[in-house]
Each structure stands twice: as structure tokens, then as C-alpha cells.
Amino acid sequence: MEQIIVNGVVLSATYALVALGITLIFSIMNLLNFAHGQILMIGGFMVYYVYGVFGLPYAVALPVAAVVTGLIGFGFEVLLFRRVVRVATREENSMLLAVGTALLLENLALFGFGEKQRGVPSIVGGVYRVGAAFLPAGRLLVVLIALALIVALLLFVQYTRPGRAMRALAQDREVTYLMGVDVERISALGFALGAGLAGIAGGLLVTLSGVNAGIGTALSTKAFIMIMIGGAGVVAGAILGAVVLGFAEAVGYALIPGSTTYLLIFVGLILFLVLRPQGIMGKPQR
């Protein structure tokens, strides 16, 4: 049981970064970024090459992943999503564009990185004993990095001027514009920040389970599960959804054979959404 709890904490902390990134983009632009998992995958490959292949410190590789994926997010928002969100009369247009960017990134990754699963050396050596459970030092470092970034993001959104502008934009885009806020600049910043968080999450996950060019869709699916559980566009809900999914995976992988874990997770999700479609912390639609 102790080992399940330890594994659940490790997964939950990392998944929270995934969920927060996609929640940030959704709340600002009312857009489900279907390419979120593919951006996360690119972050994993950046760490693989910078840290695993070129041998630079992990402390260098992780910021590189954040910068590269942040720039990808910024470019997508400025060159693609900004125009579609501004002029589109139907949400399906933005959704199809997001799906298109996901397919583009996945196929570019297959062309550039190949299909082979890649892993990286452990960040640090050693194993800690937590009761009857064992916690590798590298996984503990992943948890600490993830928690530090979550706190930093919450403080940024709560107390900085751009963060407050993002919160206002999430509540009412038109009123925020009338108040003199540069909506386009804040949208680009929010998209870049969300993508950068995805890149960091990918850089953390590659140390746990490796990375390949085809994991993007599965990771995007996990991100959607988390925000549906917690409530779309709710930061606290994203964290709660990450905890629920992380512990569900930890319990399932320890006690249930094969792929049955996600079958049960999807069945549970369907039943949950029937009873509470707005998520745990979301507000019901009127």
C-alpha cells in the first residue's frame, strides 16, 4: 500500500503540470489544445537529446525543453489560433485546427526522431525508504521540481500583473479588452506558458517512462481526463483531476493486469460525467 501511495504522488505531481498547461490555454482562449500531448512529447525529446545524448546537465535540459515548447506555443497562437479564434463563428474551426497541429507535430516527430522508445539516465542516484515503500532519488527530485513549478505558477497568476490579466481574460474577454488590456499579447503569453509547462512535464516524464513519437495522443487523452474530472478551466480542478488520475493509475497498475486499468478508468469517467458533467469543481451551465 505504501508503494502505491508513493507512486501515486509521483504521477500526480507530474500530471498536474500537464493539466495546468492545458487548463491555462483553455481558460484564456476557450480552446481545447489537442496538440498538448504532442508538445509535451517534444519537451521529452528535448531533454533526451540535451541531457541523454549531448550530456549537458539536467538543469540545462529542462529549461531548454520549456523554452522550445514555449516558442512553439507562441508561434501557434500568433500564426494560427489568433486569426481563427478572432474570425471563426463556430468552435469546430478552432478544434479542427488544434487536431491538425497535433497531427503535424506527431508526423514531424516520427520523421525527425523515429519510432524508437528513448530513455535517459537517472537524474540522481540513490533510493529512499518510505515505510515499506522505496522512492528513487530521481523520482523524488521530479516531485519536488513539479511542486515548485505548480506553486510558482499559482503565485504568478495570483500576484503578477500579467497573471491577473490572464485571470481577467479567462472571466470575460470583451470586458478585459475594454479595460485596456492587450488581449492578444496576454493570449500569446498564456499559450506560450501553457506549452512551456507541457514541455517541462515531458522533460520530467521522460525520466520516469521514456518518450517516443507516438505518445502525444495518449498524453492529450490523459490531460482531457484530468480537466473533465476537475472541471474545465478551473486551476484547482486541474490539480485535483491530476491527483485522481495519478492515484487511479498507481492503484490500477499495482492491482489490475494489463490494459484493464484504463478500461476501468474510462468506465468510471463516463459514469462520473453522467452524474456531474461539469466536473468536481466546475460550475453547472445555465
The domain ranges of the chain are 2-214
In the chain, the amino acid numbered 32 is L
pLDDT at 64: 95
* Rounded-to-integer distance, Cα 13 and Cα 11, Å: 6
Please check the confidence at residue 27 and state whether its pLDDT lies above 70: yes
pLDDT for 240: 87
Looking at residue 234, its pLDDT comes to: 76
pLDDT mean over 70-85: 84
Helix (H, G, I), strand (E, B) or coil at 102: helix
- Average pLDDT, stretch 271-279? 79
> What mean pLDDT, rounded, does the chain reach?
84
Q: How large a percentage of the chain has pLDDT more than 70?
A: 93
- Amino acid at the residue 254: A
pLDDT of residue 172: 75
Q: What gap in Å lies between CA 35 and CA 33, rounded to an integer? A: 5
CB atoms within 10 A of CB 278: 15
Residue 91: what pLDDT?
63
Q: What is the pLDDT of residue 42?
A: 93
Per-residue pLDDT band at 39 (split at 50, 70, 90): very high
Do 238 and 16 contact (CB within 8 A), yes or no?
yes
Helix residue spans in 160-256 (DSSP H): 161-171, 173-178, 183-209, 216-230, 235-255
Residue 88 has pLDDT above 60, yes or no: no
- Nearest to residue 157, comparing CAs of 233, 68, 63, 66? 233
| Range name among 43-57, 188-202, 261-275 with the lowest pLDDT average | 261-275
Q: Inform me whether the pLDDT recorded for 286 exceeds 60.
A: no
Q: Enter the pTM of the model.
A: 0.87
pLDDT for residue 87: 58
Q: What is the pLDDT of residues 56-74, one digit of tens each?
A: 999 999 999 999 999 999 9
- Please report the pLDDT score of residue 273 as a whole number: 79
The whole-angstrom separation of Cα 35 and Cα 105 is 8
